[in-house]
């Protein structure tokens, strides 16, 4: 394990939680856009909302079009946490684009 791996949030948590914690730590992708309307959502966006599967939507779509439920899994949507700037530099947000799930125009 190199120095970067020893200081990553995953390795620190693995060392403190012991064998119950998988060393294969997954962090949020921080998806780049609303999967309903396509609006760009910066990693520090205050209006980014996610479900437990990380489907990502803007707050306007969640309130006005999705009735506060994920159209993919039916689960609730909550404000997406923000990654601290120092960690964002080391673990950047996703740049992958996903197909939009809202079929009707806004």
Going by pLDDT thresholds of 50, 70 and 90, the confidence category of residue 80 is very high
pLDDT of residue 46: 96
Q: Per residue in 56-79, pLDDT tens?
A: 999 999 999 999 999 999 999 999
What's the predicted TM-score (pTM) here? 0.74
Residue spans per domain, the chain: 27-90
Is the distance from CB of 86 to CB of 63 less than 8 angstroms? no
pLDDT of residue 21: 47
In angstroms, the CA 74 to CA 64 distance is 16
- Which CATH architecture best describes the domain 27-90? 2-Layer Sandwich (3.30)
Q: Per residue in 42-51, pLDDT tens?
A: 999 999 999 9
In angstroms, the CA 41 to CA 57 distance is 9
């Amino acid at each position: 394990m190199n120095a970067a791996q020893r200081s990553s949030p995953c390795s620190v948590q693995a060392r403190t939680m012991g064998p119950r914690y998988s060393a294969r730590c997954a962090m949020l992708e921080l998806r780049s856009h609303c999967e309903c309307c396509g609006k760009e959502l910066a990693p520090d966006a205050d209006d980014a909302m996610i479900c437990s599967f990380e489907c990502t939507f803007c707050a306007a779509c969640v309130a006005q079009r999705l009735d506060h439920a994920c159209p993919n899994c039916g689960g609730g949507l909550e404000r997406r946490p923000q990654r601290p700037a120092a960690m964002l530099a080391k673990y950047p947000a996703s740049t992958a684009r996903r197909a939009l799930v809202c079929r009707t125009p806004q």
